[in-house]
Structure 1
């Protein structure tokens, strides 16, 4: 595989994961996209807000191509985890639109630079990176958070998959899934029989 093909493949995975994350909001109300569904506060809209910062930094400042908008969640005096939840004043549209503007900026960086283009991430041990390293890192981080979003969305209403047309799960009815889940539970209990 040549560099152009490798970059196209990585970029394709990034675009796919971005789309999956935004789709996770479809059909849900404001409370459900914002509410914390884990003890550490993980929520759907917060994942998107966080990834906007990730891409703005890694595809912006790292390569001397700063994202042109000020993102206050990244300021030194911002509240802890300010990039991981939406305040009551921030709308879904504002956060998703920001993420999509960051995509455009990141895509321009990816398109303009070769995979071996040098960059600098000051908080990494060596600091010196290439576009290839950053693409792999951001694809991995975006897919990691897309996995979080998969679980959160399934908890909310049972929706799973990459988008409305591709659940990437076996097509089975509710009874089949209930039986399957019970089978998984039995296997778990059998592995540790003293567990109540």
Structure 2
């Protein structure tokens, strides 16, 4: 099965074959291990730093991309695993002479539990612009709700497979991973850190500290989406009516205390960072842009 929790590694050998999990597929006459390459007429050309060649391989970049696309198509056909078309361009870079071609982790591989593969993230209305002259608490609540909506809108209309697509190489970030991460972040800061509730982790394990990002291959996207909605609602209810100046014990804070105001602002910081990531991931998947 052509699946792994890490990036699949497809070795490009001198003889011009691709071997992956015991399979050998032809990719043409070019070699990724030689500093020179034949043009098929007995001539050789040094790779050097020529702009038309992939650095360190002596192989024309256009040929590498064409060959890599063909190889990926054959691998997908041979293994029966689905591959999002938008992911293919990011599969077509070789790292250097004699090294491996890093193929982004495949999504929704055959034989893995993946929830409802027919599910599509629902559309989300942005809603009316909030009062721009309101009090501080209402303003922070409004900004937090808006950042949540922006993240959900980046997911809207995408399938489970697309939500699990790491489309901006070499990053492994996915939209589903970001959604899972922000579920954990809100839960941790509002309910565990500030209110000292004893809650289990949702996506993180002792073995996988970044399980929210790293364990999306087996995740149920529909359930994770629902968990985000449930957790954000729970956080809103948990801190409703608590003054922004209210302090909670935090041994990691410089003064040993953290205010609810600081938690709100930190959450806005987290969303600002990750919705920026989501912008790029979504655009690479289907060209979608805007809030």
Provide the TM-score with structure 1 as the length reference: 0.72
* Residue 257 of structure 2 corresponds to residue 128 of structure 1: yes
CA deviation profile, 1:19-39 (whole Å, cap 9, x unmatched): 111121222222221122332
Q: Offset at 1:123?
A: 4.1
- Whole-Å Cα distance in 1 between the matches of residues 248 and 142 of structure 2? 21
When residues 7 and 97 of structure 1 are mapped into structure 2, their CA distance, relative to the original with a 3 A threshold, is same
Name the one with the larger strand percent: 2
Q: Offset at 1:86?
A: 4.6
Asked which structure has the greater CA Rg, the reply is 2
When residues 72 and 99 of structure 1 are mapped into structure 2, their CA distance, relative to the original with a 3 A threshold, is closer
- Whole-Å Cα distance in 2 between the matches of residues 112 and 67 of structure 1? 21
Are the equivalent residues in 2 in contact too, given 1:72–1:78 (CA < 8 A)? no
- Whole-Å Cα distance in 2 between the matches of residues 87 and 47 of structure 1? 10
Question: What pairs up with 1:1-196 in 2 under 5 angstroms?
Answer: 5-37=135-167, 38-66=169-197, 70-75=200-205, 77-162=206-291
- Whole-Å Cα distance in 2 between the matches of residues 86 and 25 of structure 1? 18
> For structure 2, which runs of at least 5 residues remain unmatched after alignment?
1-133
Q: Which has the higher contact order (CA 8 A, sep 6+)?
A: 1
Aligned partner of 1:182 in structure 2 is none
Q: Offset at 1:92?
A: 1.4
- Whole-Å Cα distance in 1 between the matches of residues 253 and 244 of structure 2? 19
CA deviation profile, 1:30-66 (whole Å, cap 9, x unmatched): 2221122332301100001000010001000122252
Superposed CA RMSD: 2.1
Are the equivalent residues in 2 in contact too, given 1:56–1:102 (CA < 8 A)? yes
When residues 5 and 23 of structure 1 are mapped into structure 2, their CA distance, relative to the original with a 3 A threshold, is same
Aligned length: 157
> For structure 1, which runs of at least 5 residues remain unmatched after alignment?
163-196
State the 4+ residue runs in structure 1 displaced beyond 3 angstroms: 85-89, 120-127
Are the equivalent residues in 2 in contact too, given 1:49–1:85 (CA < 8 A)? no
